[in-house]
Amino acid sequence: MKPIYKRFVLKLSGEALQGEQKFGINSDAIVSIAKEIKDVWQLGCEIGIVLGAGNIYRGNTRDRKIIDPVTADYMGMLATVINGLAMQNTLEKLGLETRVQSAFDMKQFCEMYIRRRAIRHLEKKRIVIFVGGTGNPYFTTDTAAALKAIEIGAEVILKATKVDGIYSADPNLDPSAKRYNILSYMDVLQKRLKIMDSSAISLCMDNHIPIVVFNLFRKGNLKKIVMGKGIKTTVKE
C-alpha cells in the first residue's frame, strides 16, 4: 500500500520534546519522534515540520510585570529555533537529510525561509523544519503550520497530540468525553474546540486543507495515519 499523503506538514508542540520532564528537551522523547518520522519518510513522503516552543518558553505564561506581550512572543519564536536545531541534529543522526528554515534571518544557524527553496528541498526528499513561527507576534505556531502548508502545497496538516483526536471534553478529566471521527471547520470554531487557534482553522478552511489530529505517542501511529489508518479526528469540509 502507498501512503495517502505525499506531502504534509507535521505540527509538533514543544511539549512533545520534553517527554516526562517538565522543561527542556528529553533525548529519549526526541529520538522516539525522529524514528517515527524516519519510518514515514521511507515511504517516500515529503515532510515539513513546524515546531512549538512550550517546553522552553510559553508567551501566555510570562510575567506581565516585566515582559510585554510582543517581547514574549519574540522570545517564543527564538525558542522554536532551539527546538528546530535539536530536531535537525536528531534526524540527521538517523541518516536523514534536513534543512532548517527560519521566518527571520539567522544565517549563522539556518536558512531564511524562501518558499521556492523549501519546495525544492522537499522535492529532493529533504525534511524541512520551519522555525520562528510566522515571524510576527500574536500568531501561534498553529497559524505558522497552516501558512506553511498553504505555501508549500501540502495536502494535509498532521497535528500531533497526546490524545487520539478531538474530544468533546478533556478525556483525561472527563471519562464520558466523546471522540469525534470527523468534524467540519465550522464545528471546531462554533464548539470552541481548542485543538488549534481560530486563525489556523480559518486559514485551513479557506484553502481546503484538512487537519488530522492524532496521538503521536502510540508507537507506529504516525505511519498508520499517513497510510490512512489509525485512530484520529479529521477536520475538513
User: In order of start, what are the domains of the chain with their CATH numbers?
Assistant: 7-236 (3.40.1160.10)
196-214 residue pLDDT tens: 999 999 999 999 999 999 9
In 3D space, the residue among 91, 95, 128, 98 whose CA is nearest the CA of residue 113 turns out to be 128
What residue has cell string 510582543?
A: 70
When pLDDT is cut at 50, 70 and 90, the band that residue 22 belongs to is: confident
- Residues in Cβ contact with 34 at an 8 Å cutoff, skipping those fewer than 6 apart: 87, 90, 91, 93, 94, 96
Nearest to 228 by CA among 3, 10, 40, 45: 3
Which of these ranges, 15-24, 32-41, 104-113, 198-207, has the smallest mean pLDDT?
15-24
> According to the model, what pLDDT value does residue 226 have?
96
pLDDT at residue 19, rounded to an integer: 86
Give the pLDDT score at 62.
56
What pLDDT sits at residue 59?
63
Strand (E) or helix (H) holding 106: none
- Show the cell assigned to 33: 519522534
**C-alpha atoms less than 13 angstroms from C-alpha of 128 in its C-beta half-sphere:** 30
d(CA 197, CA 63): 22
Q: How far apart are CA 61 and CA 160, in angstroms?
A: 22
**What are the start-end ranges of the H helices in 8-163?**
27-41, 69-93, 115-123, 141-152
pLDDT band at 168 (very low <50, low <70, confident <90, very high): confident
Rg (CA), the chain: 17
Residue 21 has pLDDT above 90, yes or no: no
- What pLDDT is recorded for position 69? 87
pLDDT score for 67: 87
Q: Please, what is the angle between helix 141-152 and helix 198-206, to 10°? A: 20
Q: Which of 170, 161, 141 is nearest to 58 (CA)?
A: 141
Whether residue 61 has pLDDT greater than 70: no
pLDDT of 38 higher than 60: yes
What whole-number distance in Å separates Cα of residue 141 and Cα of residue 54?
A: 10
Would you say residue 126 has pLDDT above 70? yes
Give the distance from CA 208 to its chain's centroid: 18
Q: Is the pLDDT of residue 20 over 90?
A: no
Residue 129 DSSP SS3: strand
Q: Decide: 96 and 87 in contact? Cβ < 8 Å.
A: no
- Average pLDDT in the chain: 93
- In the structure grid, which three cell numbers stand for residue 184, read together? 467540519
pLDDT confidence tier of residue 66, bands split at 50, 70 and 90: confident
Q: Calculate mean pLDDT across residues 43-51.
A: 97
- Is the pLDDT assigned to residue 174 strictly greater than 90? no
As a whole number, mean pLDDT of residues 56-67 equals 72
CA dist., res. 206 & res. 215, Å (int) = 26
The answer to whether 143 and 201 are in contact (CB under 8 A) is no
